Amino acid sequence: MSQQGYVAAPPYSQSQPGIGGFSAGFGPPNSSLHYGHYGDPNSSYSAPQPGVSKSTVPFGSSAPVGPLPPGTHQFSQTNFQNGPSTPGQQPHRFQGPPPPSSTGPSYPPYSHQSQPAYPNTVSTSPTAQLANQLNSMQINSYGPGTTPSSRISSGHPASFQGPQLPPPTQQQIALPPGSQVPPPANNVNGLCAQPSLPPVARQDGIPGPVPPDPNLQQLSGQPPGPGYHPQPANYGPQMAGSQLSYPGAFPGGLAQLPGPQQKKLDPDSIPSPIQVIENDKASRGGQIYATNTRGQVPPLVTTDCVIQDQGHASPRYIRCTTYCFPSSSDMAKQARIPLAAVIQPFAIVPPNETPLYVVNHGETGPIRCNRCKAYMCPFMQFIEGGRRYQCGFCNCINDVPPFFFQHLDHIGRRIDHYERPELSLGSYEYVATLDYCRNNKPPKPPAYIFMIDVSYRNINSGLVKLICDELKTLLDKLPREEQEESSAIRVGFVTYNKVLHFFNVKSSLAQPQMMVVSDVGEVFVPLLDGFLVNFQESRSVVINLLDQIPEMFADTNESETIFAPVIQAGMEALKAAECAGKLFIFHSSLPTAEAPGKLRNRDDKKLLNTDKEKTLFQPQVNSYEALARDCVANGCCVNLFLFPNQYVDVASMGLVTMYTGGTLYKYSNFQLDADSPQFLSDLRKDVEKKTGFDAIMRVRTSTGFRATDFFGAIYMNNTTDVEMAAVDCDKAVTVEFKHDDKLNEDSGALIQCAVLYTSISGQRRLRIHNIGLNCSSQLADVYKTCETDALTNFFAKSAFKAILSQPLKMVREILVNQTAHMLACYRKNCASPSAVSQLILPDAMKVLPVYMNCLLKSCVLVGRPEIPTDERAYHRQLVMSMGVADTQLFFYPQLLPIHSLDLKGDTVPAALRCSEERLSEGGAFLLANGLSMFLWLGVSTPPELIQGFFNVPSFAHISTEATSLPDLDNPFSKKLKSILEHIQSRKPYTMKLIIVKQREQPEMLFRQFLVEDKSIYGGASYVDFLCCVHKEICQLLS
């Protein structure tokens, strides 16, 4: 198989300068990516927006926990001067280590385009901005038009002096020298909220041959702050210790400062997730990312680039919490950074990337190591002229089968290296032999069974007719292999209320036949022949049935339903047909009819914030777990579409869906007109999804560490096999690793994920993903290659699993403690010495506190009577199977200013930080988190926007009832629609659009998604949480 157009590097070698044009494995040499994987670590400056009112919260008082009155803001800046700074007050001096030669480059003073609407994204350098952000010097609020460079006294032009070897990147936030962090002003959910935090200083860089560092700027003014002088660290090059603290303003430390005139921290001076995302887009967006180097850090999930597989799996399939594992378990325990991989084995690959190659070795099947059973991959080393190979995972020496033999070239690589995907690529598929099939028989193509609740409510609401009408067209779009003309998937139909109705839709019948099963205690399948059919062959009978169902039950008055027997019946039908498949169940109420799996309403608000709260997330009867186990054993995946208008016990009803790799959809208070588009879109996407059936996943590792914990929509019968009745393109399994020995820095840490599954055409296949990580005995290397988005995914899943067995308060405390621990370890072992008042964050983790705070504020971890229990159980279940991109958006939503649309170009407006401070009365903003989408309109939104989007004359005429925008033929409408489609196209769930007008009731719901602010349910603001974490770090270090 000749493969043109890609080059692979020796997969076993360390990253070598020059391979694939990468310097030392850290991204292209001339990009701005010299600072860990987050690119250039500047945080954006944003001028206050016109029309946003500010108010002060007195220092030490707890900000209101209830809803804030419209127009008030958590963080006030009214006490700052809004023009040039006072004469005589000059910024501090930031200075990097002296340049290695006197010919250090000097750059012109940086200037700033005045952009009042949203933060400038890429161009500015961090230290220059820090000068702007020193609140105490009244520089953060200068009027439009003044550039920061005008702040710098004319005698000292701002020059950049860069060392040749910058040290490990980090960011510092300074508290006043010698200050004691005061006791918490208020204590919410076990988090302390503190009112003020100081400005930020940073230390940047990574050891290695990189160009001069443009990020250290020398500003004139007072002498450097405490702890400034460069300190040699215990490894590598020396550190730049530029630090910043308040200029002697608060001699007594924070605790002794009374009165409301306390200077608030400018939110722009703490690390911004948006800035990190924008920087990565600027340095790596649109480029080719080749996976030819072990342990390299991929672009962020939010960055669009083309991924070229050159020996390691694409980050679309596997992302890790760190790409360099600590070499010993002692080191791992010290840092407490979870070592985990988030594996999305069936992730969608965009059309401009190569789909997976399928390798077929015929009767002999895949080549595997005799000892550890790892599959042939780029980590196997051929020896003895190609006659044998050494396994990269267990080091066992194996004979090469005669049919697979090939000679080696002068560097010991097989001559056919590039012709065989399994030797040169990170991901590929094998055709499996009969040994890998159930009962050693080739599998049959899977089947889809549609099971519709025809109780009174669903008939009355029009839901049953809606489903039947949709299925008539949808069944033509069942998934099929690229080369096949029609789908091999067979379909079947069941309706139910208190009893089950099976339908015979055999192609030879003139009319469909109904068979009723009323003994729901012992469900059996009343017919085999004619229940599962090929839709194309039985089209007329099936269409006839779908026309008849709504009429057949039109006069029903049966309101009670069963649920577990429905799943049992579907599973028995698949078992009888000897095939795997999916059940699509459309259900609307608590199953209260006398039958197995009967549920009662057990929703009890009195359990909130007690040790028994965890029971609300556990199933109320054991039968659902046993049912789930049977479903997995028979390859029966359950997709559940719920339409509740009251409590339905999602924790119990969703359990089988969760364990079988299915998807749960919930449409509370479903209204046919408003909610049909969202439901139908979800149904279409789900039916058309590429899916692997009857799957089993095994994760193998090289010696020294192993997979210990698995999180996801999975079932585990033993400690190693991850069983999934089905796995689709959106499902991810998060795997945690632990050391069982020391790791070798030369050979690294290798991971192979193998998924055995049945394809939609009924072929048994193995999908293999391989990735190699580095190992190091230096903690700095581990921190440098961390990925915050993958860490967030891991912490969310481990916390959401823990709440089944531990009190929520304890889970929240563990998360705060873990965050503080990781940062304290960095501070102690990797950062240069500095004052205790400095909060120092590693560059790759500088926005971890934001995401951890968002997780702590999620409705799952916050027990409040206003939040429905079902909603919490639903969110918990969704997150458990999410990949990294989905958890990133879910915990930190995207906020776009759509009043600044570029109507001519293709660009989407740059995102804003999720805070009320970023909204303006004269603007319109779009917020999306993967489940919901809000269009927020300020009271002074320009009339031309209102006319363009809604075709009404003014703000007062906008209806907030609408859940979609009208189709209008104007540039505003077309542009907004294209942005909505773009955001939607990447997400598994269809987001319902909610229109929110400023100062109207629905704004309360919208405010919960402004995650940097204090939550109306009592979660801390980002600033307060940072103070809290800093206090914990100080305690750990003392």
pLDDT digits (tens, 9 = 90+) for 870-884: 999 999 999 999 999
- CA pair distance 759, 765, nearest whole angstrom: 7
pLDDT at 174: 59
Residue type, 240: A
Q: pLDDT-based confidence at 84, cuts 50/70/90? A: very low
The larger pLDDT score, comparing residue 37 to residue 892, is at 892
- Grouping H, G, I as helix, E, B as strand and the rest as coil, residue 124 is coil
Nearest residue to 264 (alpha-carbon basis) of 148, 134, 151? 134
Per-residue model confidence (pLDDT) at position 44: 37
At residue 688, the pLDDT reads 93
Q: Name the β-bridge partners of 642.
A: 587, 666
Residue 470, pLDDT score: 98
Q: Residue 204 and residue 842: Cα distance in Å, rounded?
A: 9
As beta bridge partners, residue 772 has 750
State the Cα–Cα distance between residues 1027 and 1018, nearest whole angstrom: 16
User: What pLDDT is recorded for position 906?
Assistant: 78
Arithmetic mean of pLDDT, 598-618: 95
pLDDT of residue 246: 28
Residue 398: phi, psi to the nearest 5?
-120, 150
Number of C-beta neighbours around residue 762 at 10 A: 17
DSSP-derived secondary structure for 283-322: HHTTSEEE--STTPPPPPTTS--EEE-SSS--TTTEEESB
How confident is the prediction for the chain on average, in pLDDT? 81
Look at residues 1024, 1025, 1037, 1038 and name the one whose alpha carbon lies nearest to residue 60. Answer: 1024
Phi, psi dihedral angles at 192 (to 5 degrees): -90, 140
Contact 842, 826 (CB under 8 A): yes
Asked if 152 and 130 touch (Cβ cutoff 8 Å), the reply is no
Contact 255, 178 (CB under 8 A): no
Residue 94: is its pLDDT beyond 80? no
What average pLDDT does the segment 265-289 reach? 93
Model confidence band, residue 53 (pLDDT cutoffs 50, 70, 90) = very low
- Tokens 């951890």, located at residue: 852
pLDDT at 550 over 80: yes
Contacts 24+ apart (CB under 8 A), 960-969: 960/994, 960/995, 960/996, 960/997, 960/1000, 960/1002, 961/674, 962/993, 962/995, 963/674, 963/675, 963/677, 963/678, 963/992, 963/993, 963/994, 964/677, 964/993, 965/935, 965/993
- Extract the tokens encoding 927: 């917020």
Task: Give me the pLDDT at residue 1017, please.
Answer: 85
Maximum distance among all Cα pairs of the chain, rounded to whole angstroms: 95
Report the pLDDT value the prediction gives residue 367, as an integer from 0 to 100: 97
Tens of pLDDT along 677-693? Answer: 999 999 999 999 989 99
Other beta carbons less than 10 A from residue 957's beta carbon: 11
> What pLDDT score does 616 carry?
96
Among residues 804, 1023, 1009, the alpha carbon closest in space to that of 891 is found at 1009
Angle, helix 788-802 to helix 808-829, in steps of 10 degrees: 150
Q: Give the mean pLDDT of 770-784.
A: 98
Q: Output the pLDDT for position 169.
A: 63
Closest CA to 764 of 428, 357, 376, 440: 440
> Tell me, what DSSP letter sits at residue 325?
E
What percent of the chain has a predicted confidence (pLDDT) above 90?
Answer: 70
CA dist 415 and 382 (Å) reads: 11
What is the per-residue pLDDT across 783-803, written as a single tens digit (0 to 9) for each? 999 999 999 999 999 999 999
pTM for the whole structure: 0.79
pLDDT of residue 575: 96
What CA–CA distance (Å, rounded) separates 496 from 208?
Answer: 66
Beta bridge partners of 516: 501
3-state secondary structure of 790: helix
The 3 state secondary structure assigned to 831-853 is CCCCCCCEEEEEHHHCCHHHHHH
Structural contact between residues 556 and 461, judged by C-beta atoms closer than 8 angstroms = no
Per-residue pLDDT, averaged over 850-865, amounts to: 95
Mean pLDDT along residues 593-603: 96
What pLDDT shows up at residue 359? Answer: 97
Average the pLDDT over 918-937 and give the result.
Answer: 96
Is residue 593 pLDDT above 60, yes or no?
yes
Dihedral sign (CA 609, 610, 612, 614): positive
Residues 6+ apart with CB under 8 A from 22: 15, 28, 29, 290, 292, 293, 296
* pLDDT surpassing 50 at residue 478: yes
The Cβ of residue 221 has, within 10 Å, a number of other Cβ atoms equal to: 19
Q: What is the pLDDT of residue 903?
A: 81
- What confidence tens digit (pLDDT) does each residue in 136-159 have? 333 232 233 333 333 333 333 333
Per-residue pLDDT at 7: 34
Q: Is the pLDDT of residue 628 over 60?
A: yes
8 Å CB contact between 321 and 304: no
User: Mean of the pLDDT values across residues 965-971?
Assistant: 92
* Cα atoms found within 13 Å of the Cα of residue 360, Cβ hemisphere only: 5
- Specify the range with the lowest mean pLDDT, choosing from 139-148, 526-535, 796-805, 890-899: 139-148
CA distance 329 to 388: 33
Average pLDDT over residues 729-755: 97
Please list the residues that pair with 934 across neighbouring strands: 927, 994
Statement: residue 192 has pLDDT above 60: no
Two structure tokens written together for 463: 């839901």
Q: How many CB atoms lie within 10 A of CB 533?
A: 22
pLDDT value for 836: 83
Q: Could you tell me where the beta strands, DSSP code E, fall in 519-622?
A: 533-534, 581-587
Mean pLDDT of 990-1017: 93
Most confident of 107-111, 462-466, 834-838: 462-466
Mean pLDDT across 695-699: 98
pLDDT greater at residue 594 or residue 248:
594
Residue 173 is predicted with a pLDDT of 67
The 10s digit of each residue's pLDDT in 11-29 is 333 333 333 333 333 333 3
